[in-house]
Amino acid sequence: MDNEARKLREYEQRLRDEGVRITRPRRAILQILSQAADHPDAMELFRRALAIDPTISLSTVYRTMKLLEDKGEIQRHAFAGGPARFEQAAGEHHDHLIDIDTGDVIEFHSERIEQLQDEIAHRLGYDIVHHRFELYGCRRKRK
Amino acid sequence: MDNEARKLREYEQRLRDEGVRITRPRRAILQILSQAADHPDAMELFRRALAIDPTISLSTVYRTMKLLEDKGEIQRHAFAGGPARFEQAAGEHHDHLIDIDTGDVIEFHSERIEQLQDEIAHRLGYDIVHHRFELYGCRRKRK
DNA sequence: ATGCAAATGCAAATCGTTTGCAACTGGAAA
DNA sequence: TTTCCAGTTGCAAACGATTTGCATTTGCAT
Ligand SMILES: [Mn+2]
Ligand SMILES: [Mn+2]
Ligand SMILES: [Zn+2]
Ligand SMILES: [Zn+2]
């Protein structure tokens, strides 16, 4: 079941069609992104990429993330404090809850809130282009 | 009606009671903050402060903002892209809509959304410590 | 295979913010 | 009031994340 591999090749082809050259560093990064289940930052992507392509540079990681962001392939998040973190734009929209003790990032979605956002913006005479909705909290202790 | 002046003196006293020395630079910054109707960043605060105390330094602006933040006197916002921006913590809680064309910051509040946040966090087993909720949009054109 | 624009690695630059340090000062105590 | 010293300052240098200039490679259309 190398569904993984096929999906990756499709991914690469989609970009090639958009005029993006598939280079060795980019191939490594795409592979990492399609496997990642978390929200790695540039340095973490760099570390993971080194394991695949030992000649890759941090600049290239940054340049590639900007490229992919422009192409709409990834999303960039700037959670409180830390450096930018990334994730594939594949799935549907969701927001994040960050565990301030562990740093864990939990995804959630509330259609209710998304609707309310539109209402609020509309009432103020605006059209929402994008939004940032992050909850910062800690595990509820006791019962 | 120098209500302004009285409020400022109260402000200073409150801090003094918390063990904060009221120095010349701090007095200038407090005055600026209590007058500001917008969300200035450190450099803008520095500019405004220079008009009151020509010897103030940018470092002191930064140090004072951190101090006031710790004392709960101001709120620090990190809107997309730009540098940190500040505002007095006086009023009640509100969130922001940023006009991506003009940079204007519009305040709003939705008790509904605040409640939903708690529900969501609770469902995920968390207690919210703070949150970030920003809408980015542009003025709705046409009718 | 060939050619060339696009992409790379490296080092240096940038931006917002923080910090070390020696000089200065608020305000409690005498 | 004067004294005193921990708290505060300005300055310059350090910082972390990200971007950029440049000379050198490389993907890939021909
Ligand atoms: Mn996510
Ligand atoms: Mn505000
Ligand atoms: Zn959302
Ligand atoms: Zn809110």
| pLDDT tens-place string over residues A108-119 | 999 999 999 999
Per-residue pLDDT band at B65 (split at 50, 70, 90): very high
Domain boundaries, chain A: 3-88, 95-137
Residue A104 has pLDDT above 90, yes or no: yes
Same fold, A3-88 and A95-137: no
Q: Tell the CATH topology of B3-88.
A: Arc Repressor Mutant, subunit A (1.10.10)
Model confidence over A28-38: pLDDT tens digits? 999 999 999 99
Q: How far is residue B100's CA from residue A130's CA, in Å, rounded to a whole number?
A: 10
A62 burial level (CB within 10 Å; 0-12, 13-18, 19+): middle
**What average pLDDT does range A58-62 have in this prediction?**
98
Number of helical H runs and strand E runs in chain A: 5, 5
pTM above 0.85, yes or no: yes
B10-14 average pLDDT score? 85
Q: What is the mean pLDDT of residues B4-28?
A: 88
Contact in structure between A106 and A134 (CB atoms under 8 Å): no
- Determine the average pLDDT of the residues in B55-59: 97
Residues of B with a Cβ under 8 Å from any A Cβ are: 78, 80, 97, 99-100, 106, 108, 110, 112-113, 116-117, 120-122, 124-140
The class that CATH gives domain A95-137 is alpha beta
Between CA B21 and CA A82 the distance in angstroms is 32
- Beta bridge partners of residue A136, listed in sequence order: A98, B130
Residues in A 40-99 whose C-beta is less than 7 A from nucleic strand C are 53, 55-57, 59-60, 63-64
Closest approach of B96 to chain A, Cα-based (Å):
10
For the CA of B74, the nearest ligand: 2
Q: Are A53 and A25 in contact (CB under 8 A)?
A: yes
Sign of CA dihedral A60, A84, A105, A43: positive
Interface of A with B (CB under 8 A): 78, 80, 97, 99-100, 106, 108, 110, 112-113, 116-117, 120-122, 124-140
Residue B110, number of CB atoms within 10 A of its CB: 18
CB nearest A137 (choices: B129, B133, B139)? B129
Q: How confident is the model at residue A11 (pLDDT cuts 50, 70, 90)?
A: confident
Structure tokens at A6: 């096929």
Predicted confidence band of residue A6 (pLDDT cuts 50, 70, 90): confident
pLDDT band of residue B5 (cuts 50, 70, 90) is confident
